[in-house]
């Protein structure tokens, strides 16, 4: 059986109002005590599997969850156990799951990589949950024919996760879930949106099993999730509407885990960075593939852009304070305090991600990926037939942006002017602090003023076009390679092209990042003269960065497999 549910964290300020709606006369309150099992090294968790035995009222139920789409749908198998046998094992502290019940079931493929007898011997109880669950059945009362069959179960959970071997280690649970019981999936999303608007709920992809795993490993949050193109599910015969849904889904697999960590309180730089990259990838896909589907909402892009901008503005300063400044100090630079600059922003990544318009947009995007592409007018058109043309157009846009900057240089600008306030990638995580560069930099270097800043619009356009081309090429190339499956040379050209794009974006991002840091130190020096050291150091870095950027942009300009 496939379980389709949406989970949200509940802000404390909205809890009382939410509980008034949850605890109505028709609602039920159940005490749930669940025991979660895995191997000591969490092999099941690594495979995306959760295994538990839970007392639900007077019954004991063994449940396994696995697979699914990584967002809202998962495979689930429930088996009601013999109460007397389970109680006897529980009393003797020998309660263990029975894995033999999964033979010839829908979850059997998820366990195929395990030898069940060996797995059963290695299982141990890692953690337990003690939860009070309030459930309420929500029925579609809009009056349309067939609506009476639309049922969603709302479940509010309040309790805690407890370490299996140390009951002093606990973590609080306070979340609400909406699960489709029967009917149209649109009713699930309409219901979730209504509650999300009213109570400012925030989507969470963190399962209780994942939280239990974090508890026993003494971690607050799971590591940041990076883009994973191996999870892009496409084939040669995929239609245009289905392809764009697959592309959006792939972006959401990066966005949702990182946004979930941030709304849960993570202040880790990598969560904010990977969320930012995921949003930029999604923007690129929605813009480039807008003509592939009639169901893309134009209102999504402004909200995504605003959220990305707020994330980026905060993390630029946070990264400067937590990474750049300590590294410069190791090289002998005086200390520059960025605390007041960060506080002046007022909006944190958690504020930006928790914003109701962003959360509602995420809900609509999830609904889009789960909608039926065969109902669209272009369902009979193959994506593979249009992708090359789409990429060729984007390549042409990049070429024009490069030509405009080159013409600026030819008429008197000393340097190609490359800047953007938008895009970063993993390169933000490190700063090259070369001792030889520092030795040659005077903190009052005249090079500070050498970077030409007279055409920010053209620079922004170049950065945007390059990044869009890279991200949509990454999404499209696996499908185009299927078309060229018999042409090994063509496939090699595609890989080489992506390599050129990735290197060009990396150097362009580094140039922009260093330029942005140089400008921040320069501006800071007006009120704190010791910031001139940082300004001078980054000015020297820009000279080197510019040469690398020009070289790699030239390779991109001279090559394309889509022309």
Can you read off the two tokens belonging to residue 555?
A: 């390779």
Q: For 81-90, 108-117, 548-557, which range has the lowest pLDDT when averaged over its residues?
A: 548-557
Query: Looking at the DSSP assignment, which residues form a beta bridge with residue 63?
Result: 52, 78
pLDDT tens digits for 10-28?
999 999 999 999 999 899 9
Residue 158 phi/psi, 5° resolution? -135, 125
Q: What is the mean pLDDT of residues 297-315?
A: 95
Which of the two residues, 471 and 448, has the higher pLDDT score?
A: 471
Task: Classify the phi-psi angles of 48: left when phi > 0, otherwise alpha if psi is within -120 to 50, otherwise beta.
Answer: left
Residue pair 437/537 in contact by the 8 Å Cβ criterion: yes
Region 345-370: mean pLDDT is 96
Nearest by Cα to 79 from 62, 66, 91, 92: 62
319 burial level (CB within 10 Å; 0-12, 13-18, 19+)? buried
The Cα–Cα gap between 9 and 14 comes to 11
Give residue-wise pLDDT tens across range 133-188.
999 999 997 766 556 689 999 999 999 999 988 989 999 999 999 999 999 999 99
* DSSP character at residue 106: T
pLDDT at residue 451, as a whole number: 31
Distance separating alpha carbons of residues 278 and 308, to the nearest angstrom:
9
What are the pLDDT digits (tens) for 65-107?
Answer: 987 777 888 889 999 999 999 989 988 989 999 999 998 888 8
Concatenate the DSSP letters of all residues of 426-440 into one string.
Answer: GGGG-----HHHHHT
Per-residue CA distances from 264 to 130, 204, 296 (Å): 20, 8, 29
Per-position b or e across 352-378, b if 16+ CB within 10 A of its CB: bbbbeebbbbbbbbbbbbbbebeebeb
Q: What pLDDT is recorded for position 444?
A: 35
Rounded to whole angstroms, how far apart are CA atoms 99 and 87?
18
Q: Where do the DSSP E strands lie in 183-335? A: 202-203
Q: Mean pLDDT over residues 293-314, rounded?
A: 96
Which uninterrupted H or E stretch holds 459? helix 456-483
């Amino acid at each position: 059986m496939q379980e389709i549910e949406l989970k949200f964290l509940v802000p404390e300020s909205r809890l009382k109002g939410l509980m008034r709606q949850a605890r109505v006369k028709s609602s039920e309150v159940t005490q749930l005590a669940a025991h979660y099992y895995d191997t000591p090294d969490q092999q099941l968790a690594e495979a995306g599997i959760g295994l538990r035995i839970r007392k639900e009222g007077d019954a004991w139920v063994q449940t396994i969850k696995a697979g699914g789409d990584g967002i809202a749908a998962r495979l689930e198998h429930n088996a009601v156990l013999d109460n007397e046998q389970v109680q006897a094992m529980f009393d003797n502290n020998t309660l263990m799951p029975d894995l033999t019940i999964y033979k010839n079931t829908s979850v059997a493929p998820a366990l195929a990589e395990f030898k069940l007898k060996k797995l059963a011997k290695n299982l141990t109880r890692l953690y337990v949950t003690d939860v009070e669950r309030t459930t309420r059945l929500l029925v579609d009362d809009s009056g349309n024919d067939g609506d009476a069959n639309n049922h969603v179960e709302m479940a509010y959970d309040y309790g805690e996760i407890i370490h299996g071997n140390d009951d002093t280690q606990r973590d609080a649970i306070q979340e609400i879930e909406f699960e489709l019981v029967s009917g149209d999936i649109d009713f699930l999303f309409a219901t979730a949106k209504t509650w999300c608007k009213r109570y400012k709920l925030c989507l969470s992809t963190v399962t209780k099993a994942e939280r239990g795993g974090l508890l026993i490993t003494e971690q607050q949050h799971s590591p940041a999730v990076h883009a994973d193109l191996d999870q892009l599910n496409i084939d040669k015969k995929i239609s245009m509407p289905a392809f764009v849904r697959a592309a959006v889904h792939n972006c959401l697999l990066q966005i949702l885990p990182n946004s979930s960590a941030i709304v849960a309180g993570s202040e880790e730089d990598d969560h904010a960075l990977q969320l930012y990259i995921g949003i930029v990838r999604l923007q690129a896909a929605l813009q480039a593939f807008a003509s592939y589907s009639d169901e893309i909402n134009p209102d999504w892009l402004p909200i995504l852009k605003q959220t990305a901008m707020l994330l980026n503005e905060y993390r630029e300063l946070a990264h400067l304070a937590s990474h750049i400044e300590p590294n410069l100090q190791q090289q002998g630079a005086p200390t520059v305090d960025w605390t007041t600059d960060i506080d002046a922003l007022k909006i944190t990544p958690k504020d930006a991600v928790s914003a109701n318009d962003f959360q509602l947009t995420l809900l609509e995007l999830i609904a889009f990926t789960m909608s039926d592409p065969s109902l669209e007018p272009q369902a009979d058109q193959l994506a593979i037939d249009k992708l090359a043309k789409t990429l060729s157009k984007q390549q042409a846009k990049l070429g024009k942006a490069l030509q405009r900057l080159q013409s600026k240089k030819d008429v008197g600008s000393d340097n190609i002017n490359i800047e953007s306030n938008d895009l970063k990638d993993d390169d933000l995580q490190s700063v090259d602090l070369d001792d030889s560069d520092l030795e040659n930099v005077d903190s009052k270097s005249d090079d500070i003023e050498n970077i030409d800043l007279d055409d920010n619009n053209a620079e922004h356009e170049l950065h945007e076009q390059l990044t869009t081309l890279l991200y949509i090429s990454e999404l499209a190339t696996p499908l185009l390679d299927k078309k060229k499956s018999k042409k090994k040379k063509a496939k090699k050209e595609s890989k080489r092209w992506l390599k050129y794009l990735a290197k060009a974006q990396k150097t362009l991002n580094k140039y922009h990042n260093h330029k942005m840091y140089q400008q921040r130190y320069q501006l800071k020096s007006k009120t704190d003269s010791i910031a001139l050291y940082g300004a001078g150091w980054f000015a020297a870095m820009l000279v080197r960065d510019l040469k690398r950027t020009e070289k790699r942009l030239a390779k991109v300009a001279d090559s394309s497999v889509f022309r």
